[in-house]
Amino acid sequence: MTGTPAPVPARATVGIVGGGPAGLLLARLLHQAGVDCVVLESRDRAYVEQRQRAGILEQGTVDALRSSGAGERLDREGLAHDGIELRWDRRAQRVDFPSLTGGHRVWVYAQTEVVKDLVALQLRDGAPLLFDARVSSVTGAGTDRPVIHYAHGGADHTVVCDYVVGCDGFHGVTRKAVPEGELRTVGRSYPYSWLGILADVAPSNEELVYAHSPRGFALLSMRSPAVSRLYLQVPNGTDPAAWTDERIWDELDARFAVDADWTLARGPITQKSVLPMRSSVTEPMRWGRVLLAGDAAHIVPPAGAKGLNLAASDAIVLARAFGQLARTGSTAGLDAYSDTCLRRVWRAEHFSWFMTTTLHTAPDQPAFDTRLQYSQLDRIAASPHAAAELARNYVGMPVG
């Protein structure tokens, strides 16, 4: 039973703009802590629940979903992974997470499924959640009563809040509530993109395979025991329609090539899309009564599998801070929110940059740079310390 949306009040302690993973998880955790909030999402429910993004969950994210009540289907259908495989120069090296991190692992469970689970909980008994609510502006960020202005059902509405949390992405309206010059954003773009496919074929490996190749990077992942998710490095601006199914499988075969008894299973490709890659961090993540979370504050390239997990960790830190405020009246957690999150954000940014630049082949890349990449991968294969650093970053650093 999914229930129906609760009415959106004209007054709330926390107004959340954006119904993606960060906003939905924060709302659920706030509901459990007895803090009233509203969630306003500009898209319809079908769009939100079908939006394809990352599918690797760190232990901290899994723990938060379980404690929020959204872990039942994850535990039943999610795929626990104890490692990844690196491939380069026709060699392969497995990185074993539990032995290198004191027992930690990751889970493969698509963002679409995380969102569906959280939406169902919110509609059943959580905070008000309104789809097709197009927020036009947030005013009063520097006052103690910021206001969210939105349109829904052909009429204009407002919600007066104690705090507004922007979970509406880099181009969302919440960032615009902060006066110009108060936020500093730094970042970089990469000279390549990912062509991602979904295929109705069982994964060709039990764990993810990250492959470096002179032809470009490739990643073997999965959505379920019967559905594979694979990626190819392609030039920026690539039209996915220009790649035939046969060409995609042939290129994946070439990039995953290894001197071992291994075959890439092929099957019907059901979806193709191109994902540009960039990094950015906005500092601080709070100004006045407006706080930023998830993609509104930071973006990472997908090679490190950190985007969804950083969004979740922001929500966890915020929920703790708002819970502290409700219980004790202390704003200490909220005052420390930006610094607390940015420490983890920058660690994840560095790891994502490391995975991206180590495994991808830049256009016209000099042979010297390729040999440096091989040297780094050789070191991971030969040094338990180097392998442990990769594993520790991959499974996720502690939240907070």
Say if residue 12's pLDDT is above 90: yes
What per-residue string of b and e applies to 344-375 under the rule 16 or more CB within 10 Å gives b? bbeebbebbbbbbbbbbbeeeeeeeebeebee
> Is the whole-model pTM more than 0.85?
yes
What per-residue string of b and e applies to 108-143 under the rule 16 or more CB within 10 Å gives b? bbbbbbbbbbbbbbbbeebbbbbbebebeebebbee
Across the chain, mean pLDDT equals 95
Residue 277 Cα distances to 46, 104, 260, 353, angstroms: 26, 28, 31, 11
Residue 54's pLDDT band (boundaries 50, 70, 90)? Answer: low
Pairing label, strands 208-211, 83-88 = parallel
Helix axes 21-32, 307-328, angle to 10 degrees: 30
- Sorted by sequence, the CB contacts under 8 Å of residue 269 that are 6+ apart come out as 197, 198, 199, 245, 248
What per-residue string of b and e applies to 43-59 under the rule 16 or more CB within 10 Å gives b? bebeebbeeebbbbbbb
Residue 1's pLDDT band (boundaries 50, 70, 90)? Answer: very low
Q: What domains are defined for the chain?
A: 11-82+106-187+278-355 (3.50.50.60), 190-276+364-395 (3.30.9.10)
What count of Cα atoms within 13 Å lies in the side-chain half-sphere of residue 192?
22
The H-or-E segment that residue 107 falls in is strand 106-108
Where in the sequence numbering do the catalytic residues fall?
A: 81, 210, 302, 306, 394
pLDDT tens by residue, 191-220: 999 999 999 999 999 999 999 999 999 999
**Cα gap 349→311, rounded to integer Å:** 13
Expressed in angstroms, the distance from the first to the final Cα of the chain is 35
pLDDT tens by residue, 309-328: 999 999 999 999 999 999 99
**Cα gap 399→102, rounded to integer Å:** 17
pLDDT tens by residue, 137-182: 999 999 999 999 999 999 999 999 999 999 999 999 999 999 999 9
The H-or-E segment that residue 340 falls in is helix 337-359
Residue 4's pLDDT band (boundaries 50, 70, 90)? Answer: low
Say if residue 367's pLDDT is above 90: yes
**Cα gap 303→307, rounded to integer Å:** 10
